[in-house]
Structure formats: C-alpha cells, structure tokens
A and B are shown apart, each in its own frame.
Chain A
Amino acid sequence: MKRNKLFFSLIILSFCSFQIFAQQNYRCNNGSIHFHSNAALELIEATSENLIASIDPAGKTFSFVVAIISFRGFNGTLQREHFNENYMETDKFKTAVFNGKIIEDIDFTIDSVYHVRAKGILKIHGTDQERIIKSTLTVSGSKLKIDAQFSVLLKDHKIKVPKVVHEKIASEIIVTIKAELKTDSNLAPLER
C-alpha cells in the first residue's frame, strides 16, 4: 500500500509538466496497453489495463504512463518475474512513458476520426528514444478514443537479452494501445 502511494505520487509528478490540471484535458487511467514478442520459438504476450493517458487539446500535448509492474499475462509467473527482474529492471525503471506533441492540427471540438502522428520521447527502461507514432483518434463529444500500434526495438532502449533466450524473445516488440479518454469534468478525481 505504501508502495502504491509512492507510485502514484511519482505519476502525478510526471504529469505536472503537462498541465493536466487545465480544463478540458482528456484523461484516463485505465487504458489498455498490450505487447507481444513473436520470436521464433516463443510467443510472449502481456497486457496492462493501467495505462494512464492525458491529452491537452489546446497545446496538442499528450502524456502516456504505464507501470511496468502492472503487466499481466506472460506464459507463467516465472516469465513475468524474469520480465520484471532481468529485462525491464522494474525496480530501477518503474514506468514506461511517452510524452510529446501531436504533429497534425486537429479540431477536438468536431466529432470525427483523425489519423495523427504523435511525436515525442518514448522512455522505456530508463532510455529515451524520440519517436513518431501513428495513431487513430476518435473524438465523440467528451470522449476520445485512441488506437495505436508501434514497434519497440530492444536495442533502442538498452534492454539486454542473454544469447540463450535470443530465440525466445523478438528483437522487435509490437505494442498496441487502446484507451478511452474523457474530459476532466467527467473523470473521477484520481487521488484525494
């Protein structure tokens, strides 16, 4: 419980720089993030439903955070342990973060489906990587649905995989994001 509090304050901290307290920001804390590694010998999949997302339509800025520890799935608990301890070093690097700005100009007041590119810094395993990620935004009233898929290269983020398990872990991990964001007014406060 204590640990949880620490984690939340950490997230709040990371949000501060992105003016999430401004009105009409789109937010959610239960977005889904899924990854799969399709290696020659093994398919590894895991999902977290704890993706925290925030988009400021005025400045076109966004922030996505997920706690690595929240990923569930894998092919057994041992694999999950390995994922957290050996590869992601979750003790040291607790979250994966993507902060940045949308390249295209879109009008969030008009309900529509927008294909946009989000340019920002993707931080995984404590390593920053500038990325442009294609995503689909569906605006309908106070709701904003996000669908995106992108690849993460292990070497981009200095995630080291022992040679022994090379055949079991793909060098390119495919990540899929699905989140439904709501404007601030519709969202229960995160933390009292």
Chain B
Amino acid sequence: MRKFLKAFFYLCFFANSSFSQSLFFKQVSITRDNPNLRYNTLFQDHNGLMWMATSEGLYQFDGLDFSRYLLKDKNLANDVTAISQDKDHVIWAGYKNGKIAYLKNDSLQLFNPEEGLPAKPITSILHDKKGMLWITTAGEGVYYFNMNRLYNINTDDGLNDNHAYVCMEDNSGHIWIGTDQGIAICSAEKKLIRKLTYKNNLPDEIIRDLKKDSEGNIWIATQDKGICRYDTEKNKIEIPTAFANWKYGQVNSFIISDKEFWIATEENGLINYNPLLFSDFRNFKESNSIKFSKADYVIKDTEGNIWISSTLGCIRTQGNTFSFLNSINNYKLSFIHTILVDKNSNLLFTPDQQLMKVFFMNGEVKTKYYDITPNDKLIDIVSLYEDKFGYIWIGTMGDGLYRLNTINNQKQKITGYPDLEHASILSVTGDEKEIWLATLGGVIKCMLPADYNKDVIQCSFIGLENQKELGDYFIYKIFIDTEHKVWIATDGKGLVCFDGQKYISYNKSAGLKSDIIYSIIEDAFGNIWFSTADEGIYKYNGKTFTNYNLSDGLRQKTITAIACDGNGNIVLVSRKGIDVLNISTGNIEYFDLEINPEGINPDINSIAVDQKGNVWAGTEDGIIKFNSHYKPPSVATKPVIKKAISLADNAIISSGRKLKYDQNNILVEFAGIRYANAEQVNYAYKMDGYNKDWIYTKDKSIIFSGLPPGKYSFHLKATIGNEFKHASETEVDFTVSKAFWNETWFTLIVIFILAGIAFFILRWRERELHRFASLEREKIKFQFETLKSQVNPHFLFNTFNTLIYIIENDKNIAVEYVENLSVFFRNLINYRDKDLITLQEEINLSSSYFFLQQKRFGKSLVMNLDIPEETKKYFLPPLVVQILIENAIKHNAVSKENPLLISLSANADKLTIKNNLNPKRNPEASTGSGLQNIINRYKILTSENVEVIKTEKDFIVSIPLIKPV
C-alpha cells in the first residue's frame, strides 16, 4: 500500500495539482422543521445585528437567538424581500406584496405615503447619503421618496425596464439601478441621467447586482456573463480577464472586499475569487459537508464572516480565515504530524509518514514528494527544520536525522554520534554554526563544519546528556530566541535556558507549577511563551512568569503546540482544538466549533507559521490553515442593548428616560456580537444605584424587579472568555420616579391641607368660644338690665303706690297683689340664670307681671292670650315676653280712650307679641337695650331671627320658639 502511495506521489512529481482547499461552513437556521422558509436577503445593522428577510417574516439574529417581526395586519403576507437602515438607524423592510414597513418601538409599522405603495414585489431598498429612500420593484420600476412625496421612474420616463433588481449609490450621489435591460443611472433632480447597455460594452443586460469598490469603481454582476467593472475614471466598462470566460452561470448577488470576491450563483453555489491567494475561482459546491447549489444572496459582516442565503437556509463561513486542505490530486491527506513553512513560503508536511512539499509556481499550486525513510520501513517524521541555506533537517521517530536539499532531492543521513542513526528526534533548531537536536535521549548539539553549504557534510557533535540541568532523557523542544539564547523543554526539569555560558533551570523550585515543558515560542515583544504538560501555558518576560490556566479560559491544561500568529497572538493546539490567546488582552477564544476539529493532531511540531503569519495546523485528515489577515478581536464588539422595557407596560427605556414609580420592573435584553464564537461571549453588567459590583453572566437578559426610586445607570460589557479589562461598555441611564405620595410636592400639599383643616377647626372653636362668651355676656347684661329695671325706683314706686291704693280698698286683693309681686321676683331670680325656659313658665312670669301692671292701669291695659296648649312646652330665653310687655307699657300712653292692647299669640314656630301704638307725648328715656338684647341673644341661640315690625298702628315682635330636642 505504502509503495503504491509512493508511486502515486512520484507520478505527481512536479505535476499541476488539484489542490482541494475547502472552507468551513455553518448553518444558521431559524428552524429546521420548516423547509418552506426561504431566506431572501441578509443585512447587518449599525450595531452589528444580523437581519434576515425571509418568506415568513423579518428576523433579527444576534449570534444565538432570533427575534421575529411580523406585520400587525394579519391579512398581509410577511414575505420580506428587502432590508435597509436609514440614517436614524431605523430598519426598513420591503415585501413581496409591495408593502414597505419600518421598525418603530420594536414593532413594524407600515409605511404609508399619500401616493400609495407599489403593487409589485420590492426588490431592494436604499437610503442614500442625503437620507432619501429609493425602492426598486419587480415590475413598476423605481420609486424615490423626496420631501414627503413618492415619485416613480418607469419606462414612461425612459427607464430601461420596469423590472429592477437592485439599486446602489455611487460616490457622486447618483443612484445606479440594475434592470432587465441594462443599468439606469438616476437622481432625484433629473430622474434618469443615463443608461448603460450593450452599446456601452455591457456584456449582458440583465443586471443582478451592483457593488462599489474602495476606489469608487462600480462592479456589475450580470445574469450570464459574470462580473464586470465600470471604471469611474475612464467612464467605461471593462471585463477583468478572470471573468472573461465566466462559466458559473447566473449570478444572484456578490460582494467585493479587498479585491476578494464572494459570488452567490444560481446553479453553482458560492464562488470565491481571491487573486492574492488563488489564481482561479474556487467553487465550494461539491467540496463541503454543506452542499448547496443555489445561493441567493451573500454579504460580509464587520467581523469578516461571509453569510449566504441558500437552498439550505442561511449559511455562515469565516471565509478564508480558516481553510481546510484535505486532499491533493484526490489523494486524501492524513496523519499530518509535522508542518514547516520554508523561507520561500513553501509548505512542507508529512502526510502518512511521507514528506511532501507544496509550492506555488506561476500562480499554480504544485506538489513534490521526497523519499526520506527506507521504503521497506517507513517511519514517522516528527520534526522539520530549515537551515540558513535552505537545507531541510528531518527528525524521525527512531530513524535518526536526515538533511535534504529540496531542489535536487539529495538527502544525507546524519551520523557521527553514538546511536544517532536510531535516535528519535522531536525537535530540530539551530543557527549559523550549530544545530540543536531534542531527542528522547537528551540534547545533542551538532557543530556545522566550515563547508556546510554542501549536500553532504561531516558534523561534529557534543552530547549534553550529562548536563544535570537537562534531566535524564526526554527533551521535547529546543528553541533559539532572537537574543540567541537556547531554550530547552525538558521532561522533569522544567524550562532550561542556555545563554552561551551556563544553563539556568526554571522549574518548580523557581515557582513553576509544572516541570514538563512541551513547546516554546517567542512573541513580537521578546516574551518567551511555553506550554506545559499539565499546567497550561506560561509567559516569561525575562523577570516574571505568568501562568494561563483553566481559570483564564484555557480549555485544557495540556497544550502540546504553540505558535505566534500574524497578529502576534498565541495559537494553542490541544486535543480540544485550536485556541487563540490575545496577548494584549489575555482573552482566549476557541475555534473548534467553527472548524469541527476532529482529529486535531496535538503533536509538538504539528503547527507552523508562514511569513504572512498564517498558521498551519496538521490534523488526522488534513491541514487547517488559519489566515493571519483575520484579526481576532478578543473582545466582542460593543454589546448591543436589544431591548430594555418596563415589564408593566412594555414601555421602551432609552437613555435619559424617566420612569414612573410603578414602571420599576425592568427587562433588559442584550447581545455581544461575535458570530464566529457566539457561545463564548460572556457578559458583565452593573446597575449603578442597585448593584455594588459587576455581575458576570452568560445570560442575555436580566430582569430587575422592584427598583426603588432613584437614578440608575446600566453598564454592560461583553467579551470572549473571562477578561473584561479591555471590553467596551454600553450604558443606559434612566430614573425611576418616586411614587407621588413620596414626592415632596405631595407631602407639602398634605401638610398644607392638614394645616388648613387645623386652622379651620381652631377658628371654628374660637368662634364657638366667642359665641359662648358673648352669650354669657349678653345674659349677664340682660340679667343686669332686668334687675336694674325691676329694682328701678320708678317700678317700685309705681308698684308700691298701686299697693297702697289697693290696701286701702281691698285687703284680699292687696294680699294677692303682694303674692304676685313675690312670685314675680321669685321667678325673676329663678329664671335669670337659665338659658331657656318653657313658654309656660314665661307666660306665668309675664302673667304675674301683667297682673301687677293691670292693677295699676285698670281697664286701660288689656292682654289677650292666644297660646295653644302644645306650644307651651316650647322654649325661649327667659323674661323675653316680660321685657316686651314692659316695653309696650313704657313707650305707649295708656289711657281709657286709648287702651293698650297687648296680644300674645303663638304657633308651632313662633310667639307673636303685638301691641297697638299710641306713643307717649314725652317718651321716657330709653336705653333701647331691651329689644336689642333679645335680638342679640337670639342670634347666638338660633339661626332664626327675631322679627320686629312697626306699622302705623301696631308694634309686632315675633319670637322664634325653640323646640325641645
């Protein structure tokens, strides 16, 4: 079998090789159980989020999760055909039914211009630099929205064809429209400016896609004739030679970036054209695990990934970042132990115990095979080294050391040291004068002769097996740094450095955790990096050792091979795959999920770096190439807050928002965009005003419930791995207001109202007190007045005179008179302290008073009583009636001709005291206080007033009666 292989390789000697280099594709499908879901176009927004226009709605993708956006109107189909983003970052979507919608407050709103919307499918949407909206349709030409009016350009205006596929803005602000009959160049001012057709050397008039390159030239994808270029300097169409014989059929979409093309074709899947890497088109239709023949759309994201919408759904690849070499001339590569890139960028590697060289000659890939170990006893080649003159030193596993001239195929087995011809040489390195060999039997130094620039040389050797710093036997790696120090990886003695004079050991006694070292490399800053068998890797900066271990994001403690890539980062190879340690941030990113690293070969020399910084890693079934152009930003891009809402009412929280006290349950959804390794994104967040420290999580959403009133600032960082030091931050500031009852204004109002109430109570009370006081005062005054009037000498004089007269005439009546006088005074004394007495009591009192007066005036004084029995229990202030009777007698002349008639009548409400007026000629001096005192006392007692009516004839006083409660 091996012989056959060798023969096969001989046949290929210097032959053109079909060099199968494939890409790693990953399916990014929303759902696997909906085969009808079609992906129409793809779009990346300013935040880096991916948007997918599908036959069943608009989807947003953050690397892990999809969000679906549907039109609110359930009657409308959700077949999205175009996506764009305006200058305010609003996402717009065009639909197959001609509808256009935009995202506002996280939901789709229909765009509704006065002019109405197209009835034909929207093929593309563009927001130009001026902010104007351009829409191409399949059947109605082009629309543009200017100053709130929608305008149309169709064949009536001279447009080539009403079926337009695509629009694009050139550097002068003109809009290029690709139609079924060539290109139309338009502007809002002039509508159609000019056309490009066959006449202008366009190879095909069906224009499928238009793209602008960094120089401003326009690249035109045609249906049948591949891609051509419009040179904006020369103003003419040119067909690049590579595209002259296009054989991949209809182009649906393409991208151009740095001269590299990715082309989505109708029948041939994805095509890559990268003149810097490969001379010809590369077609991945057949060579991949994910095979698709129809690709509809292709875009490149800011991370460098290529996204394709295809018959197999949405597919993402890191493009040429990682490529996979798995066969040459249909011979499957396998068991690649060792790789070397020589000074001429040729690749040497050892498939299946052979040595093969792959080189580029005149833009073509060629292979060459070298016969090293004996044909009948093939032995694994485990180390390769190219010396200053291009000789390749080959270390084998048990068959010693060979030196090869790759030009003339001359090889020499190096001998001259005991057992060298059967040695296992794990690592070879050297400089101008000497070659160092790491063997399973210790270190051997090989001194080059003066005439080393020959195919056959004679070397002298120095065995270092007795050097106690190097341990007993196993040496895994020897590395010479830029300062010509020799670093030796030992098994059991740690890392040993030979600076030309002495050996210095760095091992457990020097603080290292492991004494078994596998691989050594120097970075661009002169730091020495080395991997250990069981404690991760170390960085040595000449003074201190820094360990990177599981806690730093390393996946495996055993790292066999390390290399420094084109960006200066450290590439680590372990059984788990290929990881990259960013030396500036310390973040470690894993790539196994991207490249399906089954059979990664964790041999010490299975990794090589070429002059361009590409890393080549051997695997069980091929070689993985890691392109140095790829710059792994170890920190994910600035994290995006996808959604921040109050859970109570779905109110959207943007920075600066003031929330009500009951909007304090908050949901924040976010994403750190890193499509290649979305699973590895970790987050740190801190809600200033709530969290004291950063909180680390892998979750992409958080709920803050019951945030107390206050100012908050939500900070979010995202990173690949564990190191957040260099991660950029996204921030949202907002305020949760106090509940209104906690607000100062509310407290003030409450205090004010309470103070008001207290004030009114106090005032009321004061008034009451005042009222009582005045009642008391009036009462006292009244008592005084009454007493004064009763002990008035006039009254006594009159009374006594009457008495004298009566005594003389009738003793019995005199006794009665005195009795009445006595009753009157007793009642007077009894009642004067009371507030109220019954009408009955008052009548009794008044009757005795009247009796006294009547005896004096005889028939000239008449009193009529008309008091119903039921009113007698009503109340009134004491002495009111008596005062009024007294007043009537006092102010009127009482004579036989004009008798004074006093009538008392009462009803349920009031007592009326009426007397006829017959005023005295010489009125008695009156204080006028009697009647006034009654009125005052009533004012205090009830709301009803004392009525005083004075007619020509009568004087009437009505006194309200107070009903017993």
Interface residues of chain A, those whose CB is within 8 Å of chain B, are 101, 103-104, 115, 117, 119, 130-134, 150-151
Q: Are A132 and B156 in contact (CB under 8 A)?
A: no
Of the candidates A101, A130, A134, A151, the one whose C-beta lies within 8 Å of that of B116 is A134
Q: Which of B145-153, B531-539, B647-655, B881-889 contacts A (4 or more CB under 8 A)?
A: B145-153
The reply on B621 being an interface residue by CB < 8 A is no
Q: Are B140 and A132 in contact (CB under 8 A)?
A: no
Which chain B residues (110-154) contact chain A, with CB distance < 8 Å? Answer: 114-116, 118-119, 140, 149-152, 154
Of the candidates B115, B149, B156, the one whose C-beta lies within 8 Å of that of A117 is B115
Neighbouring B residues of A130 by C-beta, 8 Å: 151
Interface of B is mostly: loop
Closest residue on chain A to residue B149 by CB atoms: A131
Report the Cα distance A140→B336, complex, angstroms.
81
Report the Cα distance A134→B112, complex, angstroms.
12
Neighbouring B residues of A119 by C-beta, 8 Å: 152, 154, 156
Scoring B residues 148 to 176 as 1 if CB is less than 8 Å from chain A, else 0, what string do you get? 01111010100000000000000000000
What are some 20 contacts across the A-B interface (CB < 8 A)?
A: A103-B118, A103-B119, A103-B140, A103-B152, A104-B119, A115-B116, A117-B115, A119-B152, A119-B154, A119-B156, A131-B149, A132-B116, A132-B150, A132-B151, A132-B152, A133-B115, A134-B114, A134-B115, A134-B116, A150-B114
> Known: A103-B140, A103-B152, A119-B152. Is A131-B119 also a contact (CB below 8 A)?
no
Closest residue on chain B to residue A133 by CB atoms: B115
Report the Cα distance A130→B119, complex, angstroms.
19
Q: For the complex of A and B, list the 9 residue pairs with the smallest distance between their C-beta atoms, beginning with the closest.
A: A132-B115, A134-B116, A117-B116, A119-B152, A104-B119, A101-B156, A132-B150, A132-B152, A103-B140
4 further A-B contacts with Cβ under 8 Å, apart from A101-B156, A130-B151, A132-B115, are A103-B140, A132-B116, A132-B150, A132-B151
Cβ of B155 to closest chain A Cβ, rounded Å: 10
Neighbouring A residues of B151 by C-beta, 8 Å: 130, 132
Neighbouring A residues of B154 by C-beta, 8 Å: 103, 119
Neighbouring A residues of B149 by C-beta, 8 Å: 131
Closest residue on chain B to residue A104 by CB atoms: B119
Report the Cα distance A134→B115, complex, angstroms.
6
Report the Cα distance A134→B119, complex, angstroms.
12
Neighbouring A residues of B116 by C-beta, 8 Å: 115, 117, 132, 134
Closest residue on chain A to residue B113 by CB atoms: A132
* Interface core residue of B114, B151, B154 (most chain A CB under 10 Å): B114
Neighbouring A residues of B152 by C-beta, 8 Å: 103, 119, 132
Cβ of B628 to closest chain A Cβ, rounded Å: 54
Report the Cα distance A119→B140, complex, angstroms.
11
Interface residues of chain B, those whose CB is within 8 Å of chain A, are 114-116, 118-119, 140, 149-152, 154, 156
Closest residue on chain B to residue A151 by CB atoms: B114
Closest residue on chain A to residue B137 by CB atoms: A103
Report the Cα distance A56→B843, complex, angstroms.
113
Closest residue on chain B to residue A156 by CB atoms: B149
Neighbouring A residues of B115 by C-beta, 8 Å: 117, 131-134
Report the Cα distance A130→B191, complex, angstroms.
11
Report the Cα distance A40→B875, complex, angstroms.
71
Cβ of B132 to closest chain A Cβ, rounded Å: 15
Cβ of B36 to closest chain A Cβ, rounded Å: 29
Neighbouring B residues of A101 by C-beta, 8 Å: 156
Closest residue on chain B to residue A101 by CB atoms: B156
Cβ of A36 to closest chain B Cβ, rounded Å: 16
Cβ of B561 to closest chain A Cβ, rounded Å: 66
* Interface core residue of B116, B149, B154 (most chain A CB under 10 Å): B116
Interface of A is mostly: strand
Neighbouring A residues of B156 by C-beta, 8 Å: 101, 119
Report the Cα distance A132→B149, complex, angstroms.
9
Report the Cα distance A104→B117, complex, angstroms.
11
Report the Cα distance A119→B116, complex, angstroms.
11
Neighbouring A residues of B150 by C-beta, 8 Å: 132
Cβ of A69 to closest chain B Cβ, rounded Å: 28
Cβ of B138 to closest chain A Cβ, rounded Å: 14
Closest residue on chain B to residue A115 by CB atoms: B116
Closest residue on chain B to residue A117 by CB atoms: B116
Cβ of A129 to closest chain B Cβ, rounded Å: 9
Cβ of A152 to closest chain B Cβ, rounded Å: 11
Report the Cα distance A37→B156, complex, angstroms.
33
Cβ of B496 to closest chain A Cβ, rounded Å: 83
Neighbouring A residues of B140 by C-beta, 8 Å: 103
Neighbouring B residues of A133 by C-beta, 8 Å: 115
Neighbouring A residues of B119 by C-beta, 8 Å: 103-104
Closest residue on chain A to residue B143 by CB atoms: A132
Closest residue on chain A to residue B140 by CB atoms: A103
Cβ of B398 to closest chain A Cβ, rounded Å: 82
Neighbouring B residues of A115 by C-beta, 8 Å: 116
Neighbouring B residues of A134 by C-beta, 8 Å: 114-116
Report the Cα distance A131→B114, complex, angstroms.
10
Cβ of A169 to closest chain B Cβ, rounded Å: 19
* Interface core residue of A103, A104, A115 (most chain B CB under 10 Å): A103
Cβ of B152 to closest chain A Cβ, rounded Å: 5
Report the Cα distance A134→B140, complex, angstroms.
15
* Interface core residue of B115, B118, B140, B150 (most chain A CB under 10 Å): B115
Report the Cα distance A119→B150, complex, angstroms.
10
Neighbouring B residues of A104 by C-beta, 8 Å: 119
Closest residue on chain B to residue A119 by CB atoms: B152
Cβ of A128 to closest chain B Cβ, rounded Å: 13
Closest residue on chain A to residue B162 by CB atoms: A103
Report the Cα distance A117→B119, complex, angstroms.
9
Cβ of B818 to closest chain A Cβ, rounded Å: 97
Report the Cα distance A131→B146, complex, angstroms.
12
Cβ of B343 to closest chain A Cβ, rounded Å: 67
Cβ of A74 to closest chain B Cβ, rounded Å: 25
Cβ of A65 to closest chain B Cβ, rounded Å: 20
Report the Cα distance A151→B156, complex, angstroms.
24
Report the Cα distance A36→B156, complex, angstroms.
32
Report the Cα distance A25→B156, complex, angstroms.
21
Cβ of A123 to closest chain B Cβ, rounded Å: 16
Report the Cα distance A47→B620, complex, angstroms.
87
Cβ of A132 to closest chain B Cβ, rounded Å: 4
Cβ of B817 to closest chain A Cβ, rounded Å: 95
Report the Cα distance A130→B143, complex, angstroms.
12
* Interface core residue of A115, A131, A132 (most chain B CB under 10 Å): A132
Report the Cα distance A119→B149, complex, angstroms.
12
Cβ of B888 to closest chain A Cβ, rounded Å: 76
Closest residue on chain B to residue A120 by CB atoms: B156
Neighbouring B residues of A150 by C-beta, 8 Å: 114
Neighbouring B residues of A151 by C-beta, 8 Å: 114
Neighbouring A residues of B118 by C-beta, 8 Å: 103
Report the Cα distance A132→B115, complex, angstroms.
5
Cβ of A112 to closest chain B Cβ, rounded Å: 15
Report the Cα distance A151→B113, complex, angstroms.
12
Report the Cα distance A151→B115, complex, angstroms.
10
Neighbouring B residues of A132 by C-beta, 8 Å: 115-116, 150-152
* Interface core residue of A101, A104, A115 (most chain B CB under 10 Å): A104
Closest residue on chain A to residue B139 by CB atoms: A105
Report the Cα distance A103→B115, complex, angstroms.
11
Report the Cα distance A119→B114, complex, angstroms.
13
Report the Cα distance A36→B372, complex, angstroms.
97
Closest residue on chain A to residue B118 by CB atoms: A103
* Interface core residue of A119, A131, A134 (most chain B CB under 10 Å): A119
Report the Cα distance A103→B162, complex, angstroms.
11
Closest residue on chain A to residue B191 by CB atoms: A130
Cβ of B653 to closest chain A Cβ, rounded Å: 36
Report the Cα distance A130→B190, complex, angstroms.
12
Report the Cα distance A76→B115, complex, angstroms.
33
Cβ of B489 to closest chain A Cβ, rounded Å: 77
Report the Cα distance A67→B156, complex, angstroms.
27
Report the Cα distance A125→B169, complex, angstroms.
35
Cβ of A80 to closest chain B Cβ, rounded Å: 28
Report the Cα distance A115→B114, complex, angstroms.
13
Cβ of B121 to closest chain A Cβ, rounded Å: 14
Closest residue on chain B to residue A135 by CB atoms: B116
